[in-house]
Structure 1
Amino acid sequence: MKKKHTYAVGSFALITALTALPSYAQSQSQDKFGELKVGAAIWNVMDDADRSAAHVAYIHKPLKRFYGIQPSALVIWADEGQHYYSLGAHKELYRNGRFFTSIAFHAGLVDSPEELGDNVEFYSALSAHYQLTERWAVEAEIGHISNGGLGETNPGSEGITLSLRYKL
C-alpha cells in the first residue's frame, strides 16, 4: 500500500513541476493543429533489448495559458501483439536554433498486462529533437513504462525510440 501512495505523490509532484515550469522555453513555431509523430522503438534495453514496437502520437499545439504544455495521445504497438493506449502531456524544455529538448508523461492502458504487471501503465520520456525543415523534425527519445506499483509485479521497461515529427 505504501508503494501506491509514494507513486501518487511522485506523480503529483511531476505534474506540478511540469505546469510550474516557466513559459520562456515555448516553441516559436506557428502551429495551427499540432504534430503527428511516428517512430520505431527497441524495448527492454536494460535487459536483452528483444522487443520492438511502433509508436504513433498526436501532439497538440502548445497551450499558451498552460505554460506551453502540449496535450497528446500515444499508441504503442509491440511486436508480440501488445498495445498501449494513453493520454498525456509534452513540455518543451530548451531550444537553441533547430535543436530542442522535451519531456513527456502519459497514463494509459495496456491490453495484455502479463509482461508489465497491470492494465494501467505510465510512460515517461526525455527526448532530443532536430528541426529539419519548418514542418519536419527528427526525434530521439528515451522512455520508461511502469505500472507504478499498482500491480502485484512492476517489472517496468526502458525503450529507445527514433521518430519523425510532422507539423500539421
Structure 2
Amino acid sequence: MRQYLSFAIAAIAAFIAMENVARAEEPAFLSVGAGIYDVNDSETTAEGRLEYRFSEANKLWHFSPFVGLMATAEGGTYGYGGVGFDIFFDDRWVLTPNFAVGLYGNGDGKDLGHAVEFRSGVELSYRFDDRSRLGLTFHHISNAGLDEQNPGTESVLLVYSIPFDKLFSD
C-alpha cells in the first residue's frame, strides 16, 4: 500500500509542477455519473454518483474541492469529500486526478472492511463550448489498512458535469 501512496504523492507533485491550470476560471459543476462498481472483482453491480464540484474561485492552493454521494444497486453508499486538479491538454480535453475520504456503508453489497474509506482516481473529460463536460472516470476505494480486511474496489463511470449556474438560467 505504501508504494501506491508514494506513487500518488509523486504523481500529484508532478501535476502541480507542470503548472498547467485552467485557461479560464472554471465554474462550479453538478456532476452525475453511472457505471460499474467493483469492476475487477466478483461483486460487480451498478453504481450511480452525484457530485458538487466547487468553482476555481474556491481552490485550495491548486486543488478544487468537491463533495459527493455514491450508491450501488446492492444498497452500498459512500458519502465523501475531497479535492481534484484539472490538467488541460487543450481547450477541450481535461484530465482530473482526484482524492477523497468518506464514510461507506455496504448495504447488501461488498464489505470493504471499515466505515472510513479513501478514494483515488482520475477522470478524462471532453469539454464543450458551454463548459459542460462528458467524461470517463476510474476510481479505487479502500480503507488504506485501517482494518485487517481491506479488499478495495474499483469503479468505472460515465460522468456528465454541467456548470451549476446553467441549472438555473433561462
3-state SS, counterpart of residue 100 of structure 1:
strand
Contact kept, 8 Å, 1:54 with 1:78, in 2: the verdict is yes
Superposition TM-score, scaled by structure 1 size: 0.82
3-state SS, counterpart of residue 25 of structure 1:
coil
Q: Which deviations, in whole Å up to 9, do the C-alpha atoms of 1:93-134 show, x marking residues without a partner?
A: 342121111101000001238611110001111110101232
What one-letter code is carried by the residue in structure 2 that aligns with 1:158? E
Distance change (3 Å), C-alpha of 1:153 and 1:66: same
1:50 Cα deviation from its structure 2 partner: 2.1
Tell me whether 1:41 sits opposite 2:49 in the alignment.
no
1:49 Cα deviation from its structure 2 partner: 6.5
1:64 Cα deviation from its structure 2 partner: 7.7
1:147 Cα deviation from its structure 2 partner: 0.6
Tell me whether 1:50 sits opposite 2:44 in the alignment.
yes
Tell me whether 1:71 sits opposite 2:36 in the alignment.
no
Unpaired segments ≥5 residues, structure 1: none
Contact kept, 8 Å, 1:120 with 1:147, in 2: the verdict is yes
3-state SS, counterpart of residue 19 of structure 2:
helix
Q: What aligned pairs does 1:1-168 form with structure 2 within 5 A after superposition?
A: 6=2, 10=5, 14=9, 17=12, 21-22=16-17, 24-32=19-27, 34-48=28-42, 50-63=44-57, 66-112=60-106, 115-168=111-164
Unpaired segments ≥5 residues, structure 2: 165-170
- Report the Cα distance in structure 1 between the residues aligned to 2:18 and 2:45, rounded to whole angstroms: 37
- Report the Cα distance in structure 2 between the residues aligned to 1:135 and 1:16, rounded to whole angstroms: 26
3-state SS, counterpart of residue 149 of structure 1:
coil
Contact kept, 8 Å, 1:22 with 1:67, in 2: the verdict is no
**Percent of aligned positions that are identical:** 24
**Structure number with higher strand proportion:** 1
1:16 Cα deviation from its structure 2 partner: 9.8
- Report the Cα distance in structure 1 between the residues aligned to 2:117 and 2:53, rounded to whole angstroms: 19
Contact kept, 8 Å, 1:19 with 1:69, in 2: the verdict is no
What one-letter code is carried by the residue in structure 2 that aligns with 1:24? E
- Report the Cα distance in structure 2 between the residues aligned to 1:10 and 1:24, rounded to whole angstroms: 22
- Report the Cα distance in structure 1 between the residues aligned to 2:138 and 2:53, rounded to whole angstroms: 17
- Report the Cα distance in structure 1 between the residues aligned to 2:62 and 2:102, rounded to whole angstroms: 22
